[in-house]
Amino acid sequence: MTTEKGLRLGEVAFGLAVLALGVFIAFETWTMPGVGAATTVGPRLFPGLVAAGLILVGLWLQLEAVTTGPVKADGIEIDWPSFSLVASGLLLQIVLLETLGWILAGTLLFVMTARAFGSRRHLTNALIGLALTTLTLVVFDLGLDLELPVGSLFEPLLDALQK
């Protein structure tokens, strides 16, 4: 849908949604409690990079929606259900990260993103997501000496295992 001047309302809305998601992730990253690591790479680095990328892409989409002409009949359509599924997965990961921990919150994000791209093999996606998030937890914990959140639900279990 375009206005008389050629402003593409769908792209404006999509750009605003991407921009809002980037600002939200940036705010949540900024207010996240810090970890006392001795390295400059911390738990805020990657979410900060994602937030910066989303903000830049959102601004770019706004610029393109305002400066280019109307969409031709063969223009790209936005797949709103898929976009909503990925955005919801990112928001859920942020909200559930402290409670469920990196592994389960990341696995949920992986499953939702795979579904957004058309996969219907939920169990397979969950197993792949579980393997990838466990691998990243091990790499960050053992390789970089940075602790990703285990989750407040599982901390008592880990404390009991360590005693």
For the stretch 36-54, pLDDT in tens is 555 566 667 778 888 899 9
6 SS3 class:
coil
What's the pLDDT at 154?
77
What's the pLDDT at 38?
53
Average pLDDT over residues 20-45: 75
How far, in Å, CA of 157 to CA of 102, rounded?
Answer: 16
Tell me how many degrees the CA angle 4-6-84 measures, rounded to the nearest 5: 110
Return all residues near 158 (Cβ < 8 A) that are at least 6 apart.
Answer: 150
The mean pLDDT value of the chain amounts to 81
For the stretch 109-139, pLDDT in tens is 999 999 999 899 999 999 999 999 999 988 8
Domain ranges in the chain are 1-76, 79-163
Rounded percentage of the chain residues whose pLDDT exceeds 90: 27
How far, in Å, CA of 76 to CA of 108, rounded?
Answer: 28
Greater confidence, 82 or 163? 82
For the stretch 85-99, pLDDT in tens is 998 998 999 888 888
Return all residues near 130 (Cβ < 8 A) that are at least 6 apart.
Answer: 103, 107
What's the pLDDT at 131?
95
What's the pLDDT at 36?
55
How far, in Å, CA of 129 to CA of 81, rounded?
Answer: 21
